[in-house]
């Protein structure tokens, strides 16, 4: 699903995107002439490679993903550390956003359940 940045309404509108077995859905709306707010939810199964033993592990995703999209280079005028993605060509491509979200999750450090069990760390409850 794609939408031109300038056509994004100020009232929240729904979007959905799907890539492999992960779904990304939620709402988006314009909060300033050059900023769009995304309130999304990632749901599905993702195959991650264990950073320790290298086996492939399937994890279930069910997490919120909220961030801002900037039309071109983002210039922050506040000290807040906001998550802002810069988009190119004035077009928001939700499929592309989802693919980069997945890529960043896959590049994170991941430990499979059996490696976790091998850790002799006291678990806090």
- Residues forming contacts to Zn ion in the complex (CB under 5 A) are 50, 52-53, 112, 115
Cα separation, 94 vs 125, in Å, equals: 38
User: Min. distance of Cβ 56 from Zn ion in angstroms?
Assistant: 10
Pick the closer one to Zn ion by CB: 53 or 84: 53
Pick the closer one to Zn ion by CB: 23 or 52: 52
Pick the closer one to Zn ion by CB: 49 or 89: 49
User: Min. distance of Cβ 57 from Zn ion in angstroms?
Assistant: 7
User: Min. distance of Cβ 19 from Zn ion in angstroms?
Assistant: 25
């Amino acid at each position: 699903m794609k939408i031109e940045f300038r056509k994004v309404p100020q009232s929240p509108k729904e979007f959905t995107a799907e890539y492999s077995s992960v779904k990304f859905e939620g709402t988006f709306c314009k909060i300033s002439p050059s900023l769009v707010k995304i309130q999304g939810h990632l749901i599905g199964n993702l195959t991650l490679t264990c950073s320790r033993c290298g086996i492939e592990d399937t994890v279930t995703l069910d997490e919120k993903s909220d961030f801002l999209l900037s039309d071109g280079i983002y210039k922050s005028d506040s000290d807040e550390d906001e998550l802002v993605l810069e988009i190119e060509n004035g077009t928001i491509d939700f499929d592309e956003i989802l693919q980069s979200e997945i890529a960043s999750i896959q590049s994170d450090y991941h430990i499979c359940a059996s490696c976790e069990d091998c850790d002799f760390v006291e678990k806090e409850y």
